[in-house]
């Protein structure tokens, strides 16, 4: 029964609030000591993906995926990469389409259920033939993509993926979109929509015949944005169709490699549907850990290594079974 009964995370006394755990790392955390080497790879549809590598000449590697409108240089990404490196893993920080600092070539960009690009990255890394183990780590939207991907693969994942960790995962995309629209979460919604509007304006300048920025004035929520842009640009009927088909919840029962989902109980973005207790009870490969605190991509911890609890927990999970024959 891989439902973790008691999490080891204990937040600092003055940082138990989910909102503080979410906001403070985003605004103030700095992570030094990560030097990336960028590699650009081509996608099957004629686009590109930018991968930022941090190598320690290991025989195992982890692909790390960021959240909505994030990128490889965000503190939570560099913190995870640094922790992986310290513990004997090469790391490749995957920038989703249009998130690496240069707009991608196609009209489309990325979405919360786009596992095809992750598969492209996985295949590319495995081509190196040097890695005996390949792990996946994802945050928020990236975590949903990771969990959905290993679920889609089912038993086929065993040949490719050793283990996976997904942190602050909106398993129920519709529920999360609706929760972020609540007045108490307005600060987050405004920030996300500002970044998404800017992306559409840049896209519209590159593809004026296919995309119009004019409807942006009507965008007041994720529903509006996904209905007007995400869904039609990526082949979905509407926002609800996109959310229902892209959330990882419906794929969790198929996961066949050890996969850990870490969702804090006080995450301001998550609804009850984002805590898949029953699938974790029934699937011996799905581990669900629900710390009382942690916020969204928070899990602040103070120590000499400068590592957050989520980074230590991820490495611990990935290293479990390390005595097995590789």
Residues acting as catalytic residues: 140, 267, 296
Contacts of 212 (CB under 8 A, 6+ apart): 204
Query: Quick one: which H or E segment has residue 260?
Result: strand 259-262
Distance between CA atoms of residues 298 and 206, nearest Å: 36
Distance between CA atoms of residues 230 and 56, nearest Å: 38
Contacts of 82 (CB under 8 A, 6+ apart): 31, 33, 34, 54, 307, 311
Eight-class DSSP state of 29:
-
CA distances from 126 to 35, 121, 161, 162, 195 (A): 22, 9, 10, 12, 33
C-alpha triplet 116, 108, 64: angle, nearest 5°? 45
Classify 44 as helix, strand or coil. coil
Which has the closest alpha carbon to 98: 22, 207, 181, 228?
A: 207
Distance between CA atoms of residues 115 and 103, nearest Å: 19
């Amino acid at each position: 029964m891989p439902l973790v009964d008691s999490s080891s995370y204990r937040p600092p006394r003055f940082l138990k609030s989910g909102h503080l755990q979410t906001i403070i790392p985003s605004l103030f955390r700095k992570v030094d000591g990560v030097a990336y080497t960028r590699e650009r790879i081509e996608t099957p549809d004629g686009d590109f993906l930018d991968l930022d590598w941090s190598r320690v000449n290991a025989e195992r590697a982890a692909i790390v995926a960021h959240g909505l409108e994030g990128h490889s240089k965000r503190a939570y990404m560099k913190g995870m990469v640094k922790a992986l490196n310290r513990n004997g893993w090469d790391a490749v920080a995957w920038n989703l389409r249009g998130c690496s600092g240069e707009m991608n070539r196609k009209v489309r960009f990325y979405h919360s259920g786009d596992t095809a690009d992750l598969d492209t990255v996985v295949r590319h890394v495995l081509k190196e033939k040097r890695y005996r183990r390949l792990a996946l780590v994802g945050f928020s939207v990236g975590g949903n993509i990771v969990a959905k991907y290993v679920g889609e693969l089912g038993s086929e994942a065993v040949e490719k993926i050793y283990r996976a960790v997904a942190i602050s995962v909106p398993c129920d995309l519709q529920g999360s979109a609706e929760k972020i629209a609540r007045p108490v979460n307005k600060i987050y919604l405004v920030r996300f929509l500002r970044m998404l509007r800017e992306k559409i304006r840049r896209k519209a300048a590159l593809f004026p015949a296919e995309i119009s920025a004019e409807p942006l004035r009507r965008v007041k929520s994720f529903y509006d944005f996904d209905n007007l842009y995400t869904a039609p640009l990526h082949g979905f009927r509407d926002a609800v169709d996109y959310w229902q088909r892209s959330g990882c919840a419906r794929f969790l029962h198929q996961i066949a490699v050890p996969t850990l989902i870490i969702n804090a109980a006080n995450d301001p973005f998550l609804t009850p549907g984002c805590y898949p207790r029953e699938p974790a009870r029934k699937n011996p490969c799905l581990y669900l850990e629900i710390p009382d605190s942690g916020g969204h991509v928070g899990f602040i911890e103070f120590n000499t290594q400068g590592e957050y609890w989520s980074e230590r927990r991820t490495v611990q999970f990935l290293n479990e079974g390390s005595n097995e024959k590789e």
